[in-house]
Structure 1
Amino acid sequence: MKKKHTAILIALALTMSMVGCKAKTEEIVEEPEETARAIEVVTLSNDSITSEYTYSGKVAPNEQANVMSIVGGKVAQANYDIGDTISKGAVMFRMDTADVENQINVLRASLSAVEASITSAKTNLELVNGAAMQSQIDAAKNALDSTKLNLDNVTTNYENNKVLFEAGILSQTEMDQIQLAYDNAQLSYSQAEQNYDLVANQMPAENQRKAEDAYNSAVAQKASIEAQIKSAQKTIGDATVTAPISGVVTAKNIVSGTVLSQASPAYVITDMSKVKIDVAVTQQVINTLSVGQKVDVILSAISQEPFQATITTINPVANTQGTYDVQVELNNADGVLKVGMLGEVSFTKESAENTIVLPRSCVIEKDNEVYVYIEENGRAKKVLVTTGIDTGENIQITSGLEEGMNVVTKGQTYLSDGDVVQIAENNVQSDVENTVADDETNSEQIKKENPIDSDSEKEE
């Protein structure tokens, strides 16, 4: 009986031992729970994206004027200093004009004398064409007529007596006397004719010429003096120099009381109400641009926010470097843009509206695949995508994603398809525990990205 009871106890002990071993075995093979990886996501909605060409250039003034004096000599007055604001038409400086004013006084005295000469020459010219000259002409005409009448009578007498002489009625002596009278009459007429031509034609013409020459000479002398006076008056006007444009005085090379140098401008005025930037673009870009087109300019010395500019000129001929010169203009009413500042001018390459846009870092390119991870029901899901416009910072997704999807923006580098994930509270990655127990290297990297998690692990 005792042996039977002992056997039962041994069997019971063995059974309990086996049950205990089985329990321990089952505890060892039990699978651990998956640790959720911390991620940040963005919920997709349509957006716009623009790809740009960017070129550098320096700010230059819209207009700059070198103010020179065409009048040499001493400076009488200089009114502005560097940094002064000036309006177009304001008197900048005056040159000393005392010598020129004295010259004008001398010329005016000479002009009075010449005007008196003109009056005298005009009177003489009138006399040449007056009654005295006409009286001489009339006398010469009367003498001509008288000698002509005498010649006619003598000629008739000569011809009649010549017939008588040939008939033998008159002697040779008588005929010689008649011939002499005839010759004298012809000579008298010829002299009267020459005298009339001299008095009526040659003398008036010569006298007229001389009188006109004297008059014209006096008039020309007057015109010359008047031109000299006008030139001197212009010099006095030019001695007062005004601002050709509005702007700010940026250079001054003039001092009152000193002789003005002609080697450099007296003043330089710079118009900064608008500024321009010149850039040289490539042949791939030139035909995408047009005058009046709006572009963005970043001037990092002032702000990372872009300034809006307008294309004002496009040179259709390539420069010596094979690029094309383009100029853009910016408003600078507040004067914050300074000459010489470096600007980045961006021209639109391509753009898209109402499309899916992601940070470039979300998209993974690996093993000839382009994909992103989305969060779906607490797990990571690998989604193949096709891309479009790529700015380097953002990228367009043309297929594979839809509005409303949660795309992983942080933590995607260490994900695999199907991983358990947890969106960080307030979408802040460091608020969610994210460790990788099996990969020490990945764990350390995640700790760097999630310093709060690392601290939490240390505290535990």
Structure 2
Amino acid sequence: MKTINPLTALISGLLLVTLLTPAWAQSPVRAVPVQQREIASHKTFVGTVQASKHAILGSAVDGRVVEFNFEEGDFVKANEPVAQLLINTISLQRDAAAAELEVRNAELKELENGTRQLEIEQMEARMLAAKSRKDYMKLRRDRAVELFEKRGVTSKEVYDEAVSAADAAEQEYMDAEKAFELAEEGPRKEQIEQAKARVAVQEAIVQELNDRINKYTIRSLFDGYLVKKSTEIGAWANSGGAIAEVAKLDEVDVVANVPEQDIPFVRVGREVEVEVFAYPGRKFPGKVAAIIPQADIRARTFPVKVRVPNQFEEDQPILKAGMMGDVMLQTSETKLALLVPKDAVVLNRGSKVVYVVSPGEQGQIARMVPVTLGIHDGSDIEVIGELEPGMNVVTHGNERLRPGQPITVLPAASTASAAGS
């Protein structure tokens, strides 16, 4: 047995009553209040999805590609090696320079640490030994002088030898004494500064070689997807030549061209919605990120960038560079307006009217009010006419109404009950 939907039965009954009753009989209708709120006009513009960042990775040096770590479509992290050029020769140069740097650092450390205590003690022992020899040679010289000059019992040769040996011992002692004093004082500041300078020069050489090696490694400076490979393993890369292209897609820019008459009302930071043609009915929230202040001279349009956080399915971005979609942008100042559902507007001999529920002699009647239409706001539309906020306008059953016709407004509870049954 077929079940009749109560809502269908209600509508059929209303139509039957309308057809069988006179034109001026009471007509059942539905009505809603006139709303007053702030609205603004919006327009839809076609935009193109672009990566928020896009970079062509190039080689800073000439070399042969020996590694390529990713394929097109792969996700690449920032500073992760994408490709590697051959670096055998320069690596050997870098290793030799690094070894030389270690030597220079050791020399500097030796100077900064100063003379060891054992070395100082050794210098002191040599000085004391030289002093003892000096004292002995002095005594020997004094005796030779006495024997030669006063007693005349020794030869001039022995005398000269004793004097010379004493002078030599005196000089040896002075030399040992100064060596001991230098050992105590340690290296000169100038020597340490010279050693530091030699270390700095060698560090610069190592850094320059490391920098050159880094140039042989191709990296991306931001997270993104490898969207194009421009070479392969074994190919020769020229300095400045393209290696790969990376696009940042965790958020995208939808770029729409807006005519100059509408651009004054577009504001950076304003929230908008984007609908991409590949996903009809699916809304992607975003914000106006930039208004490019340079128009296309022929079209007189300005590019507007709407930044949209991307969404992912199976680790793949839903919004892809090159997709097209609609961007809804505000194109007028916000204003306070009266709004009614679009179903409340009736065409009457080329003009537009709404029927207002008004009191009559024997109940409620439909009063026709001519209106001028304004801005659309979803299912509502702005109306300009002799209306006030809170007035009830007929939304259903208004197609067959006549001005002044008696009406019966179905209670909201009855309407909701019928709709929910």
Q: TM-score, normalised by structure 1?
A: 0.51
Distance 2:47 2:252 in 1: 12
What does the per-residue CA deviation read over 1:237-288, in whole Å, with 9 as the maximum and x for residues that have no partner? 31122222211222334544x2245597333211112211222222212233
Task: Write the mapping of 1:288-303 to structure 2, written as runs, cut at 5 A.
Answer: 288-299=265-276, 301=279, 303=281
Q: Which has the larger radius of gyration?
A: 1
Counterpart amino acid of residue 312 in structure 1: A
Alpha-carbon spacing, 1:302–1:366, altered in 2? closer, same or farther (3 Å): closer
Distance 2:22 2:88 in 1: 108
Give the match for residue 388 of structure 2.
402
Task: Write the mapping of 1:387-426 to structure 2, written as runs, cut at 5 A.
Answer: 387-390=373-376, 394-423=380-409
1:64, distance to aligned residue in structure 2 (A): 0.9
What does the per-residue CA deviation read over 1:209-258, in whole Å, with 9 as the maximum and x for residues that have no partner? xxxxxxxxxxxxxxxxx9999876654331122222211222334544x2
Ranges in structure 2 where 5+ consecutive residues have no aligned partner: 1-20, 99-202
Native 8 Å contact 2:365 2:405 kept in 1? yes
Native 8 Å contact 1:351 1:389 kept in 2? no
1:409, distance to aligned residue in structure 2 (A): 1.4
Distance 1:333 1:306 in 2: 9
Q: Cα RMSD between the aligned structures? A: 4.0
Give the match for residue 447 of structure 1.
none
Native 8 Å contact 2:268 2:287 kept in 1? no
- Number of equivalenced pairs: 284
Higher strand share: 2
Paired residue for 1:259, among 235, 240, 252?
235
Give the match for residue 342 of structure 1.
324
Paired residue for 1:65, among 21, 44, 55?
55
Alpha-carbon spacing, 1:260–1:420, altered in 2? closer, same or farther (3 Å): farther
Native 8 Å contact 1:297 1:309 kept in 2? no
Alpha-carbon spacing, 1:419–1:69, altered in 2? closer, same or farther (3 Å): same
SS at match of 2:300: coil
Give the match for residue 354 of structure 2.
372
Verify: 1:270 aligned to 2:252, yes or no: no
Alpha-carbon spacing, 1:418–1:64, altered in 2? closer, same or farther (3 Å): same
Verify: 1:312 aligned to 2:322, yes or no: no
Distance 2:52 2:285 in 1: 16
Give the match for residue 363 of structure 1.
345
Alpha-carbon spacing, 1:428–1:351, altered in 2? closer, same or farther (3 Å): farther
Native 8 Å contact 1:295 1:311 kept in 2? no
1:63, distance to aligned residue in structure 2 (A): 0.5
SS at match of 1:250: strand
Verify: 1:81 aligned to 2:71, yes or no: yes
Ranges in structure 1 where 5+ consecutive residues have no aligned partner: 1-30, 109-225, 433-460
What does the per-residue CA deviation read over 1:9-60, in whole Å, with 9 as the maximum and x for residues that have no partner? xxxxxxxxxxxxxxxxxxxxxx979654443322333334321132111110
What does the per-residue CA deviation read over 1:339-398, in whole Å, with 9 as the maximum and x for residues that have no partner? 223222222223556542113342235457542112344432212345543569532234
Query: Matched residues, percent identical?
Result: 23
Q: Which moved more, 1:88-97 or 1:347-356?
A: 347-356
Native 8 Å contact 2:254 2:305 kept in 1? yes
Counterpart amino acid of residue 400 in structure 1: E
Distance 2:336 2:375 in 1: 13
Distance 2:334 2:70 in 1: 53
Distance 1:279 1:295 in 2: 12
Distance 2:378 2:348 in 1: 18
Native 8 Å contact 2:288 2:304 kept in 1? no
Verify: 1:331 aligned to 2:313, yes or no: no
Give the match for residue 238 of structure 1.
215
Paired residue for 1:55, among 27, 36, 45?
45
SS at match of 1:284: coil
What does the per-residue CA deviation read over 1:156-189, in whole Å, with 9 as the maximum and x for residues that have no partner? xxxxxxxxxxxxxxxxxxxxxxxxxxxxxxxxxx
SS at match of 2:262: helix
Native 8 Å contact 2:25 2:405 kept in 1? no
Distance 1:427 1:417 in 2: 25
Alpha-carbon spacing, 1:37–1:353, altered in 2? closer, same or farther (3 Å): same
Higher helix share: 1
Give the match for residue 84 of structure 2.
94
Alpha-carbon spacing, 1:317–1:45, altered in 2? closer, same or farther (3 Å): closer
What does the per-residue CA deviation read over 1:304-349, in whole Å, with 9 as the maximum and x for residues that have no partner? 4462322413224443323223323223365443222322222222
Alpha-carbon spacing, 1:264–1:303, altered in 2? closer, same or farther (3 Å): farther
Give the match for residue 222 of structure 1.
none
Native 8 Å contact 1:48 1:357 kept in 2? no
Q: TM-score, normalised by structure 2?
A: 0.55
Distance 2:261 2:328 in 1: 14
Give the match for residue 44 of structure 1.
34
